[in-house]
Structure 1
């Protein structure tokens, strides 16, 4: 499988590269900064410089040639303001979907976040509130499209060692999850056709990843 990952220098993306490469798949990472290319190669990915804040759909589409799936794992990152939450976390996700549709790629995984379904509580930092709104807008845009999409909403991310055991369901209580486990769940979802059309929340739990994905993707 050839998978193009937007936000290729992010922590989860680099873990995802390693997981895919370990399976013999091809990971292509879209990055804004060419200085990050070496890090992508080290994680087993093919780096492609493409600034999603300044490219158009036709330009992005040229980098999707031969892909079987795309994953949006980009984010404006810490230290960015509310404006970039919109241009990256929302608009760039839509741009990747536009490019996928231009090139006939149906499979699209969106890395979102828990907490987007409800209004931010009073006192929430303005930038974090903008982040949640941008993620929800990206979800709404994607789920309205004729694509084989899956939305994954992880809980609070940690760099702890992976447990390999998760809770993966439409709604779950807030919790944490390791970035490595998120990457492994993304791979499992990519390979499970039943995950298309699912919006799933993810935290550390008691169920092995393969079993959790199979149960979450079972349709009555």
Structure 2
């Protein structure tokens, strides 16, 4: 019942891995190179070396579900956005389906539903997320798509909202709250083919991610 975490070395990925391990959830952190291993090994978290731009199918061995929270990052160009955020996600969906995994949990973005409404510099990223989400929906792979608002480094409150109406238009959520939401979703294995917007708010994870 191991969960493969793609993008484990990212800001959300690291927080989620620490939370999941502390909660006793079996996880495998997919990382790109050995230099990233010490942080995980110090915490007793299993790792696998694999690259979304290469052959990474071995990372799925003996896993039951996937959390995809990988991203090319803000300092790369549209080429990496296409290769990682879009094509990497597509290849991961295909690998999960071919291996018969039970679920694919995708970290997307709230504005991915309408990329042209995003700030200009974010539109290629949002378009990649839009297409990756559409591919996942059409794949037949049981899935959950989590759509956070604008990410911040505020402390995790574990209090969230599901719409802008609840937040008076505040389109933001802490990375810590996203990590806590992923832990809730990983445990809630009965949730399939669902999509959730996630913002900082006043309600519990269990209420919003029901």
TM over 0.5: yes
For the Cα contact (< 8 Å) 2:9–2:31, is it kept in 1? yes
Closer, same or farther: CA 12–44 of 1 in aligned 2, 3 Å = farther
Match of 2:66 in 1: 70
For the Cα contact (< 8 Å) 1:171–1:201, is it kept in 2? no
Number of residue equivalences: 208
1:98 matched to 2:94: yes
Mapping for residues 137-156 of structure 1, pairs under 5 Å: 137-156=131-150
Determine the C-alpha separation between the residues in 2 that align with 1:10 and 1:212. Answer: 24
Structure 1, gaps ≥5 residues long: 215-220
Partner deviation per Cα, 1:187-210 (whole Å, 9 max, x = no partner): 111222453111211001110112
Which secondary structure state, in structure 1, belongs to the residue aligned with residue 47 of structure 2? strand
CA RMSD in angstroms, aligned pairs only: 2.0
From 168, 171, 180, the counterpart of 1:175: 171
Closer, same or farther: CA 208–201 of 1 in aligned 2, 3 Å = same
Structure 2, gaps ≥5 residues long: none
Higher alpha-carbon deviation: 194-203 or 113-122: 113-122
Determine the C-alpha separation between the residues in 2 that align with 1:150 and 1:170. Answer: 20
TM-score if structure 2 supplies the norm length?
Answer: 0.91
Which secondary structure state, in structure 1, belongs to the residue aligned with residue 209 of structure 2? helix
TM-score if structure 1 supplies the norm length?
Answer: 0.87
From 164, 175, 190, the counterpart of 2:158: 164
From 169, 181, 186, the counterpart of 1:185: 181
Which secondary structure state, in structure 2, belongs to the residue aligned with residue 195 of structure 1? coil
Which secondary structure state, in structure 2, belongs to the residue aligned with residue 63 of structure 1? helix
